Structures are given as structure tokens and as C-alpha cells.
Chains A and B, each alone.
Chain A
């Protein structure tokens, strides 16, 4: 689907001018390890590929190694082992000046003593462009981010959103191999964050640059990414499209980090093609998606992840692949949805429903039938940690 995206604050000619696109290069991170003190690895065997024009997010809690990984790509940290390849050429040992990445830092790190134009022209000055070319390219880029009339201001005189656009313009003006964004929205309030997320995404689509993005916020990651690499304790726990990691998590960590989930224990699990037949520990038979081929693990015990919004309340006649009985122990009205805690299968299940009639009638103590489709349940390939 082709969409016509118009950046707020940009006039038509600038939007049309944006036809010229940067593609970015193929960034390959292969088996990278990093320790700050002996055997205390903060990054363990991290491998990912950033394809031209793609937005890949490293998502994880603090201390998961995501920022260290980004800093190794940028060149501020050296890996202990592994390779960082740009179009096949290993740059892991080059200083940051010799690499060609546009880095946007948390807080933006604009030069406070330079005007907006001087900030954007800085990387061109470092690359010894002539002064007329510096001016032309910088103004061009400021035009693209809609800040041309602010060229003579100091960064301190701009709003947070405008500062971000200057930082992006400065990181893009020298046509980098990729943009590296280190939690650029970390310190902002929710509304501004969402506006700027959209702005980055739109800019990326128009300019076509590949972006490596670091965040700890799963909503931000879901909203912006083409691919998400979920990191935990220095490792990439899972990598895939937002849809893939959300709907088909491999481990309890991934399932839990990307929003709420129900983890159901089963005693028996047989794989048949892409589906799995399992037995919950009260004897009820259930159906779920099997893990991908290479990640299957033969084990008498398995965990199944079912998202709260995928569980439905069934009427007595309705039937579906998974049906269980339970008792509502708590319900909370949250405006756009209601959240129920249901006691079933010997544990507590969270159910999220947007059905308005249900929220009027269902109440604590009611016996209910719950059901979910086979495709909405995912057998996890790992059960520990």
C-alpha cells in the first residue's frame, strides 16, 4: 500500500522534493560479545542484520545490553569478540569518526554554542565540503524536516520536538550508512513522545534510511519497528516482526515483556505440523500453535501463552478449539475495555474484553465458559527463566 505522507510543518514542494531517497547500507552484527570486567558479559553473542531501509529496534529492560550493542555499532565501545560489517566490510575496530553512522543521542546532544544551521552543517564541515555546498545541503535538510526558518536560532530556543528534528537533520545530512537512535524519546512526556515517534517513522519512510533504534518501551517498539530484537541479560531472546514476536513469543520473558499474557502449564504436548495438541493439568485437551520448526523441544511439560484480549467469554452453545470453565474473581472497568481475573485451570487468568454488554452483566462470582482459538495460543519453546 502506498501512502501519501505529509509531514506537519512542511510545505508541498519540500514533500515533493523528498523524492531523493537515501537507502542506507547493509549492516551485519555477527556474534558480538562485550564484557566491562572479567567474565561479566553485558553483551553475549549478539547477531542481527539491519537491511537497507529497515527500522530495527533493540528492545529490552535496562541492563539488557541494548545500548552497549548500539554503542559498539557507533564505535564508542569496542567488542571483545565478533564482527560489525557494513556492506561486508568489518568496521568493528574503527574509531567512530571513521564510521559513517548518524547517531541521535538521548537529549539530542546538539551543540549549544552553534546555531541550528551550524549544527546541521557540522558533519559536512568535518568532511571538508566547501562552504557553499555546506550551506546548500544543510538548508536542504532543514527544509526536509521543516525547520528552515529556524536556521539562525540556538538549540536552547527550540522546543523538544524541534530539537529532535535538528538532531535528525544533523545525523542525516551527510548521508550516513544508517541512523542509530539511542532512546531519543526517553525523557519526554507521553503525548510528545507519540507525536515524535510518528515523526521519526514518517521521516524514515520518506527518506528511506535504515534505522537501528534502542528503547525499553514495548509500545514504542511495536509502533515504530519493522523488526524487533528483544534483549535480555545481554542476549537477543527473539527477533522478528512486531506481529511475530507479539503473537508467537518463544520464551516467557518475551511473552511477558511485550505486554500482558497468560502462561498456562500443560502436562502433555504433541506437535503435528504447525499445530500442537496438549493436555492441561486438569485433563482438559487444548490446541495451540507449535513453535517454529527449529525451536521445538520435546518435553513432557510445556508452557502456552495466551494474550488476555484473545480469550473470549462463550455462551453455552458456542464452541471453539479451546474451552474451559472458570469463575470470575475480580473485574475492573477501564473505559475502553474491562479486565477480568478468572479462576480456571487451577490458576488465575487475565481476560480483557471490549464487549460493552458483557461489562454490565458479568460480575464477581459468576461461573463462565472461556474459549480461544488455536491460532491465539502459542506453545513456548523455552520454559525456564
Chain B
């Protein structure tokens, strides 16, 4: 096959040109720059990052907070998905709005809303002070609990949709079949519905965990100094220490680890591994 000028001019690949330019200048190029920064002085930056006692503590915090967030979000998401699945058309529209509204709301808005609710003279503490015998405000803000609340609020839609999709793919006759074979409502759920939705649960869990590990602004607004997460450490190197090379090395490490998770997620069946029977 010959590549004449005319042929090239007519190639449909030209349609990819605009996205190529945007993606190249906004994503690939900065990433390449970061990789280059990270190798300034060979592996020196990586050694420095990995040797820092901060990394171990913050990585641990990131993983723990992300796991708790994932578990809570998947549990709540499962219930919400089940409610969406089983509700009538009108209730379903309402529930969808309740899921999607926070999804479309900016993370800053959500976080400051929680800050307002959780602070010492916020709504929850005002209520608590009325009934509390000690008249001391509860420490609700600037701690791990607040960070997790804010993160769960953000990631909940990401937990709902993979589970809901798998539920939709379940053949409704399976439930009738189970009942006709003598299964109680509890057995229908525990032996048929839950096993069939597990692929969705795994997919949702992985997705939520990946998103959780990348949180930056929520720990800043809702957390205390001890609640730094890994993205905050990058910021710490870049803005507090003004050491871009070290920040770049840490960023590359994060990208590598998360990429592994993203690959696993891509392999994970999302639409019901059993299909439609």
C-alpha cells in the first residue's frame, strides 16, 4: 500500500488531530516534564523520597483512609443501588437525582458544606450542646472522621453505578425461580442476588479506592495536620520545600502504583460476568 499525499490528506486519522494536540500539550507533555524532573541527578530524588520517614506515615494514612472510605462507600452504594433497582419509576427518578446532585456539585462546595456542619458551632454541635450534660463541643472537624465523611460523600456515585449496572443485568426470573424452589426472601438475597452482584461490588470497590488515594483538597479542608494524604505530600515538597524534583519523583511513584490498580480495574468484569444467561 502506497502512502500518497492525497491518501494521507484523506485519512480519517486527521480527526484525532485536535484531541492529540490537547492531550499532548495538557497531559503527555507535563507528565514527560515531571518524569524528567524526577530523574534530575539520577535516582537521587527517588532515594530521598523513599528514605523520608514522612512517606511511610502518609502512605499508611492514605491506604487506611482509602480502605475505610471504600468499605463505607461500597456498603452505602450497594443499598442505594438496590433501592434504585427495586424502586418504581417515580421514586427512581428522585433517587437518581439524590445520587447525581452531589456528583455534579464541586468538591470544594461539598467539603465546605461539611466543614460548616461539623465545626464547633456547626449544626451538629449546636444540637449536641443542647442535649449534652458537659456542654463541651464534640471534636467533629479536622480529624480523620471528617476526612472520611467528606470523601465518602464524594465517591458515593462511583460506588453506586457499577453495582447498579450489574443488578440491571440480573435475570428477574432467577428470583422467581429461587422462590419457587423454596427460598425465603433472605435466601434469595444471600444466595442469588448478592453472589450475582459481586463482580459489580469488586469493580466499585477498586474504582472508589483508586479515586480515594488521589484526594487532595478534602484532607486540607476537613482534616488536621496528621491527616495528610499522599497528594498533600507532593504539594508539601513543591510548595513548602520548593523542591520540584523531589515532588516529581513522588508523583511518578504514585502514578506507577495507581496505574497498576487501574489495569486491574480494566480487567475486572463490570457488567455481570454471567451475562444474561
Contacts and interface: CB of A to CB of B under 8 A. Distances in A.
- Residue of A103, A106, A170 with most partner-chain B CB within 10 A: A103
A97 B277 contact: no
Contact of A97 (B182, B191, B196, B275): B182
B181 A112 contact: no
Given A107-B173, A109-B174, A126-B187, A95 B274 contact: no
B274 A103 contact: no
Given A155-B277, A156-B274, A109 B184 contact: no
Contact of B196 (A106, A113, A127, A155): A113
Given A126-B187, A155-B277, A109 B182 contact: no
B195 interface: yes
Contacts of A313: none
State the main secondary structure of chain B at its contact with A. helix
Contacts of A150: none
Nearest to B172: A109
B50 to A, nearest CB: 43
A113 B191 CA distance: 10
Interface of B: 171, 173-174, 176-184, 187, 191-192, 195-196, 274-275, 277
Given A109-B173, A109-B277, A112-B274, A74 B180 contact: yes
Contacts of A122: 178, 181, 183, 191
A96 interface: yes
Contacts of A106: 173
A100 to B, nearest CB: 8
Given A105-B177, A156-B275, 14 more contacts: A74-B180, A75-B179, A75-B180, A96-B180, A97-B179, A97-B183, A99-B180, A105-B176, A106-B173, A107-B171, A113-B195, A122-B183, A156-B277, A180-B180
Given A97-B183, A97-B184, A170-B181, A111 B176 contact: no
Contacts of B180: 74-76, 96-97, 99, 101-103, 171, 180
A272 to B, nearest CB: 51
Nearest to A122: B181
Contacts of B173: 105-107, 109
16 contacts: A74-B176, A74-B180, A76-B180, A97-B182, A102-B180, A107-B173, A109-B171, A109-B176, A109-B177, A111-B177, A111-B178, A112-B196, A112-B275, A122-B178, A122-B181, A156-B277
A367 B202 CA distance: 78
A109 B180 CA distance: 11
A349 interface: no
Contacts of A112: 196, 274-275, 277
